Amino acid sequence: MSEATMRETRTATPGASKEDRSARVAVTVFPLLVLAAAVIGFVFSPVMVGLGPHVNTLLIVIMFGMGLTLTLPDFKLVVTRPLPILIGVAAQYLIMPLVGWTVARVLQLPPDLAAGVILVGCAPGGTSSNVVSYLAKADTALSVTMTSVSTLLAPLMTPLLTLWLAGAYMPVDGPGMALSIVQIVLVPVLGGLLVRLLLPKLVDPLLPAMPWISVLAISGVVTAVVAGSATRVVSAGLIVFVAVVLHNGLGYLLGYLAGRLTGRSERACRTIAIEVGMQNSGLAAGLAAKYFNPAAALPAAVFSIWHNLSGALLAMYFRRSGDRHRSETTAERMRDGE
């Protein structure tokens, strides 16, 4: 959900409590639907494995929906507040790939699962991070811009990092992966942005439905991935879950510390933590299934469920920890351009 969508929600719904309720529904119902999709994929794997060839189509729907929620003002922070965006995106593409590689080494994961964990770390930020940032009283506008920039950089960064870190585990077709990301990420996102720019009156009424369309598409991806690797779920489900929890949790922690060590404000630190920890695991699942094997997509499927649940918990923690950013000095706020 972009900042533009947040603004529309605030306009359409009087009172902060109703707005908060809507956002809470998004981060609590979504993971439950994705979890249900995983169960369906596992129980009915002989039937649901037929979804496999349609994963890329579902990803295109997700990314086109993301493009529809964006507007050109969502990118203005690249010019007005470049430093926190640079720090956040750099942390995204440094911390998560290296943490994924480290977790795979420490847990001594089999090659296909190790490659899958690393690929999740090399993916861009997930769009649900925008909702979690809003709930956490972080900087939602900054979150939207970081997600957008990391997504636009994905055709270059994701294949390069995957080739570097996962190449020791499995062969990686870097050019092929880059082309796939252009086709299923870059073109749909830019297409959605263009449609929103040219036909705002047609698109605006559809925006409230976009998060639900996206989560149904993500659920389809998870169902297909779990169905294709059902036997590995039984044999490696626990170790994959441990790897995902470590990967995601360390992403939050190190992302927050990256913000603190570079002198960012509390709100910016929260945003960077969320952006680093929450990945576009749907994209990672699709790429893993295409360029590795169905079992390599299992970590991404588990990550899809877990990072939404952990994101909701993190948002709750940040809200209950008090509005520490209110006590920040004027100089700190001016430094981040808030």
Mean local confidence (pLDDT), 9-20 = 43
95-108 pLDDT, tens digit per residue, is: 999 999 999 999 99
pLDDT recorded at residue 16: 46
Average model confidence (pLDDT) across the chain: 85
DSSP for 285-337? Answer: HHHHHHHT-GGGGHHHHHHHHHHHHHHHHHHHHHHHT--GGGGS-HHHHHHTT
Is pLDDT of 317 > 80?
yes
What tokens does 225 get?
């991935």
pLDDT recorded at residue 70: 82
279-288 pLDDT, tens digit per residue, is: 998 899 889 9
Is pLDDT of 322 > 80?
no
pLDDT recorded at residue 116: 95
pLDDT recorded at residue 13: 39
Q: What is the pTM of this model?
A: 0.85
Is pLDDT of 330 > 70?
no
In this structure, of 5-14, 180-189, 269-278, 310-319, the range with the lowest mean pLDDT score is: 5-14
Higher pLDDT: 27 or 202? It is 202
Is pLDDT of 191 > 90?
yes
Q: Are 153 and 45 in contact (CB under 8 A)?
A: no
What does the DSSP 8-state code read for residue 13?
S
Higher pLDDT: 334 or 288? It is 288
pLDDT recorded at residue 166: 94
pLDDT band at 295 (very low <50, low <70, confident <90, very high): confident
Higher pLDDT: 237 or 151? It is 151
Is pLDDT of 3 > 70?
no
pLDDT recorded at residue 25: 65
246-293 pLDDT, tens digit per residue, is: 999 999 999 999 999 999 999 999 999 999 999 998 899 889 988 998
pLDDT recorded at residue 273: 96
In this structure, of 112-126, 155-169, 217-231, the range with the lowest mean pLDDT score is: 217-231
Alpha-carbon gap, residue 118 to 111, rounded angstroms: 11
Alpha-carbon gap, residue 169 to 113, rounded angstroms: 9
Alpha-carbon gap, residue 245 to 233, rounded angstroms: 16
Comparing C-alpha atoms, which of 264, 251, 278, 292 is closest to residue 113?
292
pLDDT recorded at residue 161: 96
Alpha-carbon gap, residue 336 to 295, rounded angstroms: 42
Higher pLDDT: 133 or 278? It is 278
pLDDT recorded at residue 52: 84
pLDDT recorded at residue 5: 45
Expressed in angstroms, the distance from the first to the final Cα of the chain is 21
Higher pLDDT: 135 or 108? It is 108
